[in-house]
Amino acid sequence: MSKAGYMDLKGTATAALAGQRLDQGLAEIFPLSRRRIRRAIDEGGIYLNGKRCRTAGRKLACNDRLRIVLLDDEVLTPFVPEQLIWQQPPLYLIHKRCGQYAQEALHRSRGTLPDELARHLALPPAQTELLRPVHRLDRGTSGLLLFSSSPAQLQQLQAHWHTAVSKHYLAVVEPAPAWETQRIQLPIGAKRDTEGRYHVTPDGRACDSEATVLERRGNRALIGLIPHTGRSHQLRVHLCALGCPILGDSRYGGRAHPRLMLHADSLCISTPALPETKQWNSPPEEDWQW
């Protein structure tokens, strides 16, 4: 187990375990209590033959491949109904809060936004299985996030996402940059390093961000950001590469802060992604302090 409480263990069911319950077999293979294993099953961190399994009583067979992924001491930010700011089924727009998972994580499906939003909406199981984020926000990033429970609608939106959608973000950086506006066109590599970071590399994917200083306070600045491409961690990597990392972004060299100071405050989706153009704005929540 790492210092962060992360565990990823793999094993194989022996002939002696054939016919035993999943939770019993896991307790014999791995150095974990039955109670912790049952919690991991409920959270969604148990995999049987490569697929997530949430049935503690599932009977094991010889040579079944088992995997348990845990993250202990994790504090989740609960979903509250006020976060749902617009809905036109099968589409649902929420104001994601810092600390919430936009999608299932390797170690959990329970407690993520798809899970909690489906429970709030009382979606039937078939629709719950189909509920997906249309785009992505990192766990520490807050702001506007669109979900769909229709594969056809999801495909329609994603097919036109880069031409019919515009997004705007707010970020607080430290130190404040010397420039007032900047077009950042630095390619980013496709692979993360061992610390989970992406890097600017000459042979990376083309990335394009637009940055404007909106306010300065001492050695910090509020930046308005428009991503013209949608690479993972793009804004975080670009600002880090310019020497002004986002406050609270320890992964990319940002100063320590109670939260990651990155917020998606505006989303506009036009035709043909939607039948008619929609635009939403949502200011940061109360923990946006700098």
The alpha-helical segments, DSSP class H, found in 62-191 are 113-121, 125-130, 151-159, 161-164
pLDDT in tens, the chain (290 residues): 344 578 999 999 999 999 999 999 999 999 999 999 999 999 999 999 999 999 999 999 999 999 999 998 888 999 999 999 999 999 999 999 999 999 999 999 999 999 999 999 999 999 999 999 999 999 999 999 999 999 999 999 999 999 999 999 999 999 999 999 999 999 999 999 988 899 999 999 999 999 999 999 999 999 999 999 999 999 999 999 999 999 999 999 999 999 999 999 999 999 999 999 999 999 999 999 99
Q: How far apart are the first and last CA of the chain?
A: 34
Q: What are phi and psi of 242, to 5 degrees?
A: -85, 0
Residue labelled with tokens 């039948």? 275
Is residue 221 within 8 A of residue 246, CB to CB? The reply is no
- Rounded CA gap, 217 and 229, in Å? 29
Residue labelled with tokens 């209590």? 33
Q: 71: which strand partners?
A: 6
pLDDT of residue 4: 57
User: What are the catalytic residues?
Assistant: 138
For the beta carbon of residue 84, count every other beta carbon within 10 angstroms: 16
Give the 3-state secondary structure of residue 279. Answer: strand
Is residue 283 within 8 A of residue 85, CB to CB? The reply is no
Is residue 177 within 8 A of residue 227, CB to CB? The reply is no
pLDDT of residue 5: 79
The alpha-helical segments, DSSP class H, found in 58-200 are 113-121, 125-130, 151-159, 161-164
Eight-class DSSP state of 188:
B
Length of the chain: 290
CA 39 to chain centre: 22
- Indicate the helix (H) or strand (E) that contains 111: none
Give, to the nearest 10 degrees, the angle between helix 22-29 and helix 34-43: 120
pLDDT of residue 1: 37
pLDDT of residue 2: 44
- Rounded CA gap, 67 and 22, in Å? 11
